[in-house]
A and B are shown apart, each in its own frame.
Chain A
């Protein structure tokens, strides 16, 4: 097994389907993500953000990092989750993620623990997309309707 892969197992290389899109917005971009659970919608939303920074097809899974996000409410949790991911990219280890796996999702204490799979961003290997300046609460929506199996999130990122 490759040294760099360390604790990665075969399962970690299974890629999730794409369940996100980019919606129209003056000057900025709105991420719309969905899934079979709110957890999946959150994971997809994180992937959507990375997908705006580069073309994910060029990203290999070589490392895994774990992040943790805490907040006072659900919107705060989504905000801080994305902010942690942005930070993972912006400073050491400069990780661009191909896949996210939320391992703990506490909807009462508003806490997320997430495994982030990807590699260090490398100009030349990874096409340069747009730079995300910040996450915003602007028009943020979290749709959590288990009875209709409807789980969606909307977030505007400042670019």
Chain B
């Protein structure tokens, strides 16, 4: 190992983490991914890593890197690597939060209609196709321009861009580094939510922990209605990642890069494969922002129709948009000196402190808003970045609940009717395209998001600001 590996847990999460390790060490266990603990250690052994390989509280085993793992590599070191497994297949998967000036009591009487309307507006689930008109040329432009494309085409508001990491556009995106195959997979899926753990939720403010920061975000009263959108770069990003993994296998042999696990396919940052991946990844990141922006547009339309008011009058501003599967070039202080690093965040959210130059003016005093999506039927949180997080975890924190049970186990152990019954009891409307997702995505299948968030808060790597409670869920 080149650096230390660490992970943040409380006692409940520690048990899950160590159980995962113990299970994988049982005799006769073959195959599958390595347990998260070992994966964090393998990442700590990658060439050029600095600081620590960090597991966030929602960490669990994933492809190559654990999900909920961040690692930073020194760009000035010619041995340093970039790894698609450190970003994930769903490049720039992320969360966007919109606010409204509605109160829960305005929504409850028409909640079912509103949920249905959202479900009708946003294409969801496997095999769904986008409804935003797009041809191959539009796609090239969108890949290069990100949210600037959405703005030019009239799908978003100018101020939406301000409240988005990178202002919704990675400038180093180069669509010519993306395979035709990825573009063909991406084109029909632009403006679709996807399946799995992706969702659009109508939520209400349930608790405010930090009145000042919440106020800056326009969240001022309990019961205020918000919409959270969790989605990524769809088949486009999946294909970019797949293509890069194939390329990097070859580059590793050529450059004799040794790693502990074959799944940690990587290339030197300064090699052709490394640079090509970063440019293609940036294009996929732009795709994801256009995707979330298209769904923002559809959400505003759905609300406007239901309430017969313009989205402007409903104050449907983007509070923030975070990326939790991405690699970014950032400046950090390492051992007392300023360094330019390539920070991989896989299932980890950037959480920059107050006064950081890369966060919008509106949040200069509060720190960057961090959006943590819960699992189906559980709460979500808005956190803010802290100075301690900046020094301990390169300005990174958790991303969500993190799976605890496998999908197959969820289907076996959890009853469809029980889940729907519980959701109804809690007053949550649900529209879901695939019935088996109801069990797979049941809250019991996940770690408790409150444990995860409280651990980050207690460790000081981010700070609790607002808790949101769902009242309607739309899923693939």
Contact between A128 and B32, CB atoms less than 8 A apart: no
Contact with B along A120-152 (1 / 0, CB 8 A): 011100111111011111110100000000000
* Residue contact B195 to A29, C-beta cutoff 8 Å: no
**Interface hit among B151-159, B222-230, B377-385, B432-440:** B432-440
Given contacts A24-B408, A25-B406, contact A134 B242 (CB under 8 A): yes
Q: Which chain A positions have C-beta within 8 A of B360?
A: none
Query: Is B403 interfacial (CB-CB < 8 Å)?
Result: yes
Complex CA gap A53/B128 in Å reads 12
Given contacts A90-B185, A138-B63, contact A24 B406 (CB under 8 A): yes
For the complex, give the distance between the alpha carbons of A121 and B405 in Å: 30
Q: Assuming A133-B238, A138-B263, A159-B196, is B409 touching A126 (CB within 8 A)?
A: no
Contacting residue for B63 out of A30, A91, A96, A158, CB 8 A: A158
Q: Assess the A87–B185 pair: CB atoms within 8 A.
A: yes
B133 within 8 A of A: no
Q: Does B27 contact A (CB under 8 A)?
A: no
Question: Nearest A residue to B412 by beta-carbon distance?
Answer: A24
Q: How far is the CB of B3 from chain A (nearest CB, A)?
A: 25
B141 to nearest A CB, angstroms?
20
Are B32 and A139 interface neighbours, CB within 8 A? Answer: yes
- Contact status A156-B32, CB under 8 Å: yes
Q: Give bound CA distance, A156 to B194, whole Å.
A: 20
A136's closest neighbor in chain B, by CB?
A: B63
Complex contact B433–A128 (CB within 8 A)? yes
Shortest C-beta distance, B408 to chain A (Å), equals 4
B409's partner among A24, A96, A121, A130 (CB-CB below 8 A) is A24
Could you tell me if B187 and A53 are in contact, using CB atoms closer than 8 angstroms? no
Chain A positions within 8 Å of B189 at CB level: 90
Beta-carbon contacts under 8 Å, B218-237 to A: 235
Measured in the bound complex, the distance between the Cα atoms of B238 and A89 in whole Å is 14
Indicate if the CB atoms of B126 and A134 lie closer than 8 Å.
no
Interface residues on B, range: 35 or more
The CA of A92 and the CA of B242, in the complex, are separated in Å by 19
Fill in one digit per residue for A56-78: 1 if any B CB lies within 8 Å of its CB, else 0.
Answer: 00000000000000000000000
With A87-B185, A138-B263 known to touch, is A128 a contact of B33 (CB < 8 Å)?
A: no
Complex: A30 Cα to B284 Cα, angstroms: 27
Say yes or no: A91 contacts B188, CB within 8 Å. yes
Is B437 in contact with A131, judged by CB distance below 8 angstroms?
no
Closest B residue by C-beta to A139: B31
B90 touches A133 (CB 8 A): yes
Contacts of B127 in A (CB 8 A): 53-54, 89, 94, 96, 121-123, 126, 128
Q: Which of B403-442 contact A (CB under 8 A)?
A: 403, 405-409, 433-437, 440
Q: Report Cα–Cα, A156/B242, bound state, in Å.
A: 14
Q: Tell me whether B175 is interfacial, beta carbon within 8 Å.
A: no
Chain B residues lying within 8 Å of A89, measured Cβ to Cβ, are 127
Using A25-B406, A27-B61, A29-B408 as known contacts, say yes or no to A131 and B181 having CB atoms under 8 A apart. no
A3 part of interface (Cβ distance < 8 Å): no
Contact A131 B195 (CB under 8 A): yes
A26 beta carbon closer than 8 Å to chain B: yes
Bound CA–CA A91/B90 (angstroms): 17
> B256-276: contact bitstring with A at CB < 8 Å (1 yes, 0 no)?
000000110000000000000
> Given the known A-B contacts A128-B125, A131-B476, A159-B196, are A26 and B185 also in contact in the complex, defined by CB atoms under 8 Å?
no
CA–CA, A121 to B434, complex, Å?
Answer: 15
- Residue A22 at the chain B interface, CB threshold 8 Å: yes
Partner of A83, one of B242, B440, B476: B242
A28 to B405, CA, bound (A): 11
Q: Residue-by-residue, is A80-111 near B (CB-CB < 8 Å gives 1, otherwise 0)?
A: 00010001011110101000000000000000
At the interface, yes or no: A23 with Cβ under 8 Å from chain B?
yes
Taking Cβ atoms with an 8 Å cutoff, the residues of B that contact A are 20, 30-33, 60-63, 67, 89-90, 125-128, 181, 184-185, 187-189, 194-196, 235, 238-239, 241-242, 262-263, 403, 405-409, 433-437, 440, 476
- 9 new A-B contacts at CB < 8 Å, known A130-B434, A134-B89: A26-B32, A26-B61, A122-B127, A129-B126, A133-B90, A134-B242, A139-B33, A158-B63, A159-B195
> Which residues of A does B touch, CB under 8 Å?
22-30, 53-54, 83, 87, 89-92, 94, 96, 121-123, 126-131, 133-139, 141, 154, 156, 158-159
23 contacting pairs across A/B (C-beta < 8 A): A24-B408, A24-B409, A25-B32, A26-B406, A53-B126, A89-B127, A90-B184, A90-B185, A90-B235, A91-B181, A91-B184, A91-B188, A122-B127, A123-B127, A128-B125, A128-B126, A128-B127, A129-B126, A130-B195, A131-B196, A133-B238, A134-B239, A137-B262
